[in-house]
Copies of this chain bind each other. A is one copy, B any other.
Amino acid sequence: MRLIECVPNFSEGRNLAIVEKIVDEFRAKEGVRLLDYSSDADHNRSVVTIMGEPATVAAAVVRAVGVAVELIDLTKHSGEHPRMGAVDVIPFIPIKNVDMNECVELSKEVAKELFEKYSLPVYLYENSCSAETRRNLADVRKGEYEGLEKKMKRAGWKPDFGEAPHPTAGAVAVGAREILVAYNVNLGTSDVAIADKIARVVRHAGGGLRFVKAMGIELAERNVAQVSMNLTDYKKSSIYRIFELIKIEAARYGVPVIGSEVIGLVPMQALVDAAEYYLQIENFSINQVIESRLINHGQNN
């Protein structure tokens, strides 16, 4: 079994009839599983999570983009979340028996098809980027839909496919990246300055772990400070290492760690890694986990 995840973001979070029409392209399709979708009215944006065999996922995404380009009009769009297109971003994520290179190739094929089918200009980003300046989605999206026409004419910002914005659908960022894990550690203090100091030293930008983005925030309703994180490669910057490192840093302020949170989806391996570490398990294979067998064997073997 070969699996990728794809998490397309659509710029519609209020008209749920439109969202359903888009999501329908992922429903009851052979080889595609709709894992999750959620709409945010303030952001005016919907995030869909699907998983399946690479070519099948790619085909479904292309169809869904077609629906979105037809039904979403960015000239009338407003919302809190930055966006540059009816479909804002399409990341392809390797999950099982698929490597990053293959996801990069797939993202480029999808990008080409989106331009050819819908005249939708595409910026390749993350591991698919054609220049380092385009790796970061925030840089690609800067100026948003309203600034696209000018941006595309500036040196270094011609899209990878196309050269002018789609009149109503803007542009889309397509790329391959590792799966993100959202992980937070709660501190036994309400002092957000302490959470922030810890965040600064455990994150990559501050000399900390390579695949950790972190900031200190306040959980007002609990009167607790939190180190809020995105793990961009949970295999290399393991959850247990991050957790223990934060404990060590918190100790210097006499602050205990009172809990942690995993937000949204997480790969089984990320938690099994932690169990293996703490239980000092020797010679364990993920294939010993029953659920892993079930998935690898598919339905009828």
Contact = CB atoms under 8 A, between A and B. Distances in A.
Given A27-B301, A259-B282, A299-B298, A265 B291 contact: no
B268 A288 contact: no
A41 interface: no
A301 B34 contact: yes
B33 A301 contact: yes
Contacts of A267: 289-291
B31 A300 contact: yes
A186 interface: yes
A209 interface: no
Contacts of A51: 290, 293-294
B278 A274 contact: yes
A294 B271 CA distance: 17
A119 to B, nearest CB: 32
Contact of A288 (B32, B258, B266, B301): B266
A152 interface: no
A260 B279 contact: yes
Interface string A31-56: 11111100000000000000100000
B288 A259 contact: no
A276 B275 CA distance: 9
Please state the number of chain copies in the assembly: 2
Interface string A251-284: 0000001111110111110011011101111111
B274 A289 contact: no
25 contacts: A27-B301, A33-B294, A34-B301, A36-B293, A186-B282, A259-B280, A259-B281, A260-B280, A261-B283, A261-B284, A262-B288, A264-B288, A265-B293, A267-B289, A268-B268, A268-B272, A268-B290, A271-B272, A271-B276, A272-B272, A272-B275, A275-B278, A278-B278, A291-B292, A291-B295
Contacts of A239: 275, 279
A240 B271 CA distance: 14
B275 A33 contact: no
A221 interface: no
Closest 4 pairs (CB-CB, A-B): A271-B275, A274-B275, A278-B278, A268-B291
Contacts of A31: 299-300
Contacts of A204: none
